[in-house]
Structure 1
Amino acid sequence: MKRILDPLDERIIAELRLNARAAHAELATKVNLSRNAVRQRIERLERDGAIQGYTLRTVEGRQASSSINAVIFVYRYDRMRGADVLQALRAIPEVIGCDVMSGEFDLMLRVGAASPERVHKVWNEISALQGVENTVTSFVLSSVV
């Protein structure tokens, strides 16, 4: 027999929607129950069909799910004091590689994204960074090595 969800069940489900991998102890703290009580409620919710499964969603732009790759060459205003640019690049999930270069360009970025539009948004974000003077972007047509 299926039961009506009580407010605690609804809170557990809401927390699982945010993070389906949350530990029972973490959920217990958030909903003010013991770890064992949370485990039992989740088992009951699964058994009763209120929770019918868990789904994996990946973050757009991660290398494993990327179908578009690009290389962005970056010119910085100040090569020697451009650490703030490097720090900002680390926060962009689509940037899967960053090499400091000698010669004409300062940085070479490898970008992986789900679409050309997403590469364009990443390019906009990078070119707007304080400390970035100019960029040159090329899409990867194929990889041979």
Structure 2
Amino acid sequence: MDATDEKIIAELTRNGRISHSELAGKVLLSRNAVRQRIERLERQGHIAGYTIVRAGGDTGDVVSALVLVYRQDRMRGGDVLAALKRIPEVVVCEILSGDFDIMVRLEAASLERVRSIWEEIAKMPGVRDTVTALTLSRVVNRPRGEQGLAAAE
């Protein structure tokens, strides 16, 4: 990925419905070049999906859960990461230091779907164990880039 790819991803993060033509103007490329880059970013997994964000930050009836994953082999667990990237409800996947290997945040339409995803993760080759916690309420939810605003005020 280069700086132009980063700009494309940043613009798509701000507005996932932006036209290729408008995006091309913002990143100083042709419409066709933007389309080709987006397709490549999708193939390479840098863009794993598109989502809807409701006005006012309302998440509706979304069930959120945190799944902590222990892998059998931390150094050779790339298959687990690749499989997690293919699950659309995975909104965050981070490799951790310490006791747990991977932290996965799920946002699903139902508790049943969270359970189904948990079962899928637990059965993955290379996963030794999991610990799952459901989100009861969200106290802080800062969009990226707003972390320093409170300190500046």
TM more than 0.5: yes
What is the aligned partner in structure 2 of residue 92 from structure 1? 87
Aligned to 1:140: 135
C-alpha distance after superposition, 1:68-110 (max 9, x if no partner): 0000000000001101100000000011110100001000000
Q: Which residue of 1 aligns with 2:31?
A: none
The amino acid across from 1:142 in the alignment is S
Letter paired with 1:105: F
Runs of at least 5 residues in structure 2 that lack an aligned partner in the other structure = 1-50, 54-58, 141-153
Alignment RMSD, CA only?
1.5
Aligned match of 1:75: 70
User: How many pairs were matched up?
Assistant: 84
TM value normalised by structure 2:
0.52
Given that 1:63 and 1:94 are in contact with CA atoms closer than 8 Å, whether structure 2 keeps it comes out as no
Q: Distance in 2 between matches of 1:87 and 1:118?
A: 20
Q: Name the CA distance, whole Å, in 2 between partners of 1:113 and 1:127.
A: 17
TM-score by length of 1: 0.55
Deviant stretches of 4+, over 3 Å: 62-66
The sequence identity of aligned pairs, in percent, is 51
Aligned partner of residue 99 in structure 2, secondary structure: coil
Deviations 1:10-65 (A, max 9, x none): xxxxxxxxxxxxxxxxxxxxxxxxxxxxxxxxxxxxxxxxxxxxxxxxxxxx6746
